[in-house]
Amino acid sequence: MIIKFVLAISLLGLQGCITTAKILSHEKEPLQVRKSIKDVDYRIRLEPSELKKRVLILPFLDKNETARPQDAREQARTAFVDDLVRTTGVIVVPMAQLKTPPAKYIKNGEYDLKKIAQDSQKQGFTSIIEGQILDVKLKNAADQIGLVRDISTIYEVVVRMRIVNVRTENEVFNTVKTVTLEEDNKRIIERVANDQFFVRNPELLKILIKDAFLDFTPQIQEALVDITWEGRIAAIRGEKIYLNVGKISGVLIGDILKVVEDGSEIYDPEIGYHLGRIRGRTKGTLEIISYFGQDGAVAMMHSGANFKESDRVETYKQ
| pLDDT tens sequence across 83-122 | 999 988 899 999 998 989 999 999 999 999 999 999 998 8
Residues 240, 131: Cα–Cα separation, whole Å: 40
CATH number of 231-315: 2.40.10.410
**Quick one: CATH architecture of 29-224?**
3-Layer(aba) Sandwich (3.40)
Residues 72, 205: Cα–Cα separation, whole Å: 7
Longest dimension (CA), the chain: 111
Residues 220, 240: Cα–Cα separation, whole Å: 36
Rounded to two decimals, what is the model's pTM? 0.74
Give residue limits of the domains in the chain: 29-224, 231-315
∠ Cα 217 167 275 (to 5°): 115
> In the chain, which stretches have pLDDT less than 70?
1-36, 38-49, 140-151, 184-199, 264, 267-268, 272-278, 318
